[in-house]
Amino acid sequence: MSDARLYQVLQKIDEDMACDAREAGCPCGGVLHSARYPRKPRGVSPSDLGDGYDKRLSFCCAKEGCRHRTTPPSVRFLGRKVYLGAVVVLATALRHGPTPYRLRRLRELFGVSGRTLERWRNFWRVAFAQSDFWRAGRGRFVPPVAEQELPGSLLERFGGEQPLALMLSFVAPITAGSWAGGMAF
């Protein structure tokens, strides 16, 4: 997970989505100002990430009395999880068929505990699989994605040069603060 190009692509996608959110403005009609907030992304060496990865792109309405926060979708961060979205997806996908060796290797690669991996696995197989977002989106995939093998089975459906970036773009709506799918992170 030390391919700096992947992180640059994900940063650019986040910046583009943030630009779109800012241009849309606040629902009250006010102008949105930058209100980035700090993140401490885990699972990767900070030197691999470059500038800006320690901030979540977000905006706050400038109109007095509103101050509504707008947090656009993100492909870098998966909701409120402290590990990078790419790490959550890949570590969970690699955990399919757990063996002591795989668990040890995942701990070495990402510094993630077995309990955290199990929470992520449950997130994908239960919370995500039962979410309104997935119920609406799974019909895009023919044949159907094997839900018992999420997220690996979903990742396999995205081809091209950056399948992980494409998958994270697909699930990005679940990372927005305003997304109302009732999914617990």
Q: Please, which residues bridge with residue 55 across strands?
A: 38
How far apart CA 80 and CA 88 sit, in angstroms, is 12
User: pLDDT exceeding 90 applies to what percent of the chain?
Assistant: 41
pTM of the model: 0.73
Residue 181 has pLDDT above 60, yes or no: no
> pLDDT for 44-95, tens place per residue?
888 778 788 888 999 999 999 998 999 999 999 887 777 888 888 887 777 6
Q: Average pLDDT of the chain?
A: 84
Least confident segment among 23-32, 44-53, 66-75, 134-143: 44-53
> pLDDT for 110-132, tens place per residue?
788 888 888 888 889 899 999 99
